[in-house]
Structure 1
């Protein structure tokens, strides 16, 4: 089984004085990418209170499209001020079995949190 749950606050930069037209362009490009992923599960980009957010979640028999880790890495590259978390459980992954892995997106980087750092 492949299970994932996550969220991203989409930001062009970590500063509060973002260029609104540039952020809207980034969000429009992300919206197209998400539409192309064609997920039957939760994959949503929407504006809330003037800020863009991505929410995603799914539970399938095997790891397949959409590649949600790749989406996190893409957001990190195009919107390096973004931040978020992704929880992944893949029982077919040799090194992790039934472990729940937590990936952190912050300041243009995606990194896996180790159990000690997650506390």
Structure 2
């Protein structure tokens, strides 16, 4: 099972003001990339209160397309002022099968962490299998 929920605030830089025309170019590029991902799950880019945001979520039997990790890495590269979180539960990852992981995007850098509030998955989220 592969479950993910995340968001990104898209910013060209971490400065006070983004170059509006450059930010619009970035958003146009991201919109094309998102459309090409052709996800059956939640994958949305929209402007709210003058700022672009990406929201994503999904739940499938196995890790498969869309590659949400690649999307976060791409945003980190083209819009290094962006920030966001991606929560992932992947019971097929042998290193983290009983953890919810968090991918953190800050200032063009990605880092991965254990989500302490949702881990360990058993018994925090689910009862142990007894059967």
Q: For this structure pair, what is the TM-score category when the shorter chain's length is used for normalisation? A: over 0.9
1:55-104 deviation per Cα after TM superposition (whole angstroms, max 9, x unaligned): 00000011000000110011000000000000001111111113100110
Give the alignment's Cα RMSD to 1 decimal. Answer: 1.0
For structure 2, list consecutive stretches of 5 or more residues without a partner in the other structure. Answer: 117-131
Structure-to-structure mapping, 1:47-58, within 5 angstroms: 47-58=47-58
SS, match of residue 74 in structure 1: helix
Moved over 6 A (4+): none
Q: In the comparison of the two structures, how many residue pairs are matched?
A: 116
Q: Distance in 2 between matches of 1:14 and 1:38?
A: 30
Larger Rg over CA atoms: 2
Name which structure has the greater RCO, CA cutoff 8 Å, separation 6+. 1
TM-score scaled to structure 2, two decimals? 0.86
Q: Distance in 1 between matches of 2:12 and 2:107?
A: 10
Distance 1:48-1:115 versus aligned 2 partners, 3 A rule = closer
For structure 1, list consecutive stretches of 5 or more residues without a partner in the other structure. Answer: none
TM-score scaled to structure 1, two decimals? 0.94
